[in-house]
Chain A
Amino acid sequence: MSDYQTHEHDVLVIGAGGAGLRAAIEASAAGVSVGLICKSLLGKAHTVMAEGGVAAAMANVDDRDSWKVHFSDTMRGGQYLNNWVMAEIHAKEAPDRVRELEKWGALFDRTKDGRILQRNFGGHRYPRLAHVGDRTGLEMIRTLQDYGIHQGITVYMEHTTTALLKDGERVVGAFGYDRERGRFRVFKSNAVVLATGGIGRAYKITSNSWEYTGDGQALAYYAGADLMDMEFIQFHPTGMVWPPSVRGILVTEGVRGEGGRLLNNKGERFMFNDIPDLYKNQVAKDAEEGWRYVEGDKNANRPPELLTRDHVARCINREVKAGRGSPHGGVFLDIAWIKEKVSNAPERIKKKLPSMYHQFKELAGVDITSEPMEVGPTTHYVMGGVRVDGVTQMSSVPGLFAAGEVAAGLHGANRLGGNSLSDLLVFGKRAGEHAAEFAKKYEAGTIDNAQIDVAAKKALSPFDRPTGENPYVVQHSLQEMMQDKVGIVRTEADMAAALDGLSALKKRAAAAGIDGNREYNPGWHTALDLDNLLVVSEAATRSALDRQESRGGHFREDYQEKQKDFSQHNTVIRRGPDGGMQLRREAIPPLRDDLKQVIEENK
C-alpha cells in the first residue's frame, strides 16, 4: 500500500489559469465543494502572458459588430473545422463574461464615453478586444484570483497530477503529489475539470513556460478520453529571436494592431505580396489604407500584418528561408515608424505597449520607440486537445470535463488572437457549472487502491534509476526533434522519421533516472513530465500525418492546398485496447441552416 493523504471534493479542478479559476468559481457558486490544483503558485499560470485582449462582440467601438460577425470570424479563422456549437455559444456569451469580470474588479481601458474600449486584432473584422494596455492576461488572472479566494475554494498550490482514477467508466478522482515535499495525494471527487493548458514544451522554440507539458491531454488520454485536432498547433508569428535565451518569448499581436509593420532585410513590407483568397476583400490595398484602419477609419481595411497567425508565420518563415531575414534569423517588426504619422509616437507606444517596451529594453537592449524588433515564429497554442461536448464541456469519459486550451473544438484549424481569453471565460464557466451539476446528480464513486498503487509506483520509478540518463537531456532531444520534424512546415518523410524518433525517445524516457529525494526536485518533475510530452507529441504527429492537406495551423509542404476530402472531418485519437494509439476520422455534424446563413451574410 502506498502512503498518501486523501482529500475529498465534489468537483476537482486541475489547473488554475483563467479556465480553471473560472470553472472553480462557477462550481463553487453552484454550492458544491471545490478543490483547485495548481502546478505553480496561484496566479502564475500562463494566462498572465496573454497580452492583446479578450475578444467579445460588445460593439462598444464599432456598432456593426455582433455575435454573428464574431461567430463568422471564428469559423473562418478555424477553416470551418470548428465545433460550431461552441463557436456559437462563445460568440454569444463572451460579452457577458467580460462584463462579469468588470463586476469582480477588472479595470479595462475605456472609450471616450466611458465604456470598455476594444481594439483591432488579427482575423477580427471589427475592433473587438477588450484590453488593459498589453497586460490583459495579468488583469484577468488577478481579477479571477482575487475574487476566487473569497469563494470557499480549497487551493492546492504546487501540486502535480499524474493520473486520473476511475470507477468503471467514470472518472472519480485524481492522483498526484505536492511538489514541495513530494508527498502523494489522492483527490476523491465526483467530477474532474481539466484546465491544464497546452503542450508548448514539446517544442524547442515556444512561448510556453515549463508547465505546458500536455498533462491534461495525457491524463485524459490514459483515462480513455478522445483527443481531437492535435495536428493543429499555432505557431505565433512574432516571438523574440534574440538574444538566444529569450528566443520564443511572445511579442504581442497588439504591436501590429497598433500599426506595427513587418519588414524583411530589404526594407520591403512583404506581407502585401501574398494575400490569401479567403481574405482578399478584407485587406488594405496599400500602407495608407492600413494606417487609416489602425486609426479607426471604418471604411478602411486591415493591413496584411493582421491576417491570421498561421499565414503571417509562414510568410515570415519564407522570408527567412529565402535569405531576406534579419541578422538573427527573424524579420523586422517596426512600430517606431508611426512617428511619421503622429507627433507623440514614443509616448503613444509606451502607453499602448508598456510591457513590450519594458521587455525589449531590458532583455534585448532594444528601444522599440526608435528601432525595429527582430521577431520570428514561436510555438504558442494547440487548437486540438480533449474532445468535449460543446454545451457541457464533458469529454467522452463521464465525469471528466475540460476547458480552455486543453479542450478542442472552438478554434478548429486555427485560433484567432483574443479568442483564447474569451474561450477560457465562456467555457471555464460552463465546465464548472456542468461539473457541479454532474457531481450533484451522481453518488460518489469508489476509489480503487490498485490504481493508486500503480500510479504511485509509476511516479517513483525515476528514482529506481539513479544513474539513468538526465531527464532534461531527453526533454531537449524531444524538443529538437519536434521543432525540426513536426513544426511549421511538415512533410510525410519528416513525420515518419518523427514517429521512429518518438519510439526511440520513449525508450530513453523509460530509462531516464534521477537521484536526490522527493522534496522540490525539478529533475524528478521533469522525468514525470516526459511521458505526457511523448503522448501529445505522438498524437500531434499521427494526426498531422493523416491530414494530407494544408489548413490553418497545419501546413504540409507535400500537400500545400486545402483538400475538399479533408474539409468535413476532425482527426480523433484514442488509446486502443492494446495500449497503442488509434486514429480515426470523425465527420463534422452539418452546420445548422441559420448559422450557415449567418456565415453567408458575413462573407
Chain B
Amino acid sequence: MSNKVPVTATINDEEKSFLCEPRQSLLEVLRDVLNLTGAKEGCNNGNCGACAVIMNGVLVNSCLVLGVEANGATITTIEGITPKEGLHPLQQKFLEDAALQCGICTPGFIVAAKALLDKNPSPTEHEVRYWLAGNLCRCTGYDKIVRAVLDAAAIMRAEKQTA
C-alpha cells in the first residue's frame, strides 16, 4: 500500500509537482525528492535551525513541516536566495567575515537572516541576535555571524539607494 500523495508547490520561483508520503517532512522532501540539499538536517526536532526555509513569507524549520503541507505554498530555500551569478550579499559577507567553519549551520543562518532583512532592513545588533536565537552554530561562535549579517544589511541598504 503506497499512500503517496501528489503535491504542487512553488519552490524558488518554479512550480514543482511531486509525490510524497504524509509522514515525510518538508526537509526530507526537499533533500531526497527534489534534490535541494542546501537545507541541512541538524537535530530534526526544531532546535537548531539548519533546515530553515521561508514558507509563504514566514521563516519555518522544514523538519517540523510535513511535505504535504507545502501543497499550494510558496517556498524559498537557500538555493533560491543564491543569485544566478555571484553571491547574495549575505553569502558574500559570511565568506569575507569568516562567519563559518564547517558550514553545516550556514544555509539556515543565511535563510533566517534573509527573512529578517526582508522584514527589517536595518536591524540593531540586539535584533539580529534575538532573531537568530533559533539557529545553533557549534564551531564559529556567534559574533562573526552577527557581524556578517549587519555588514550585509548595510550593503543591501546601499544597493537599494543606488538602484
A complexed with B: no
Where the two chains meet, the residues of A that have a C-beta atom closer than 8 Å to any C-beta of B are: none
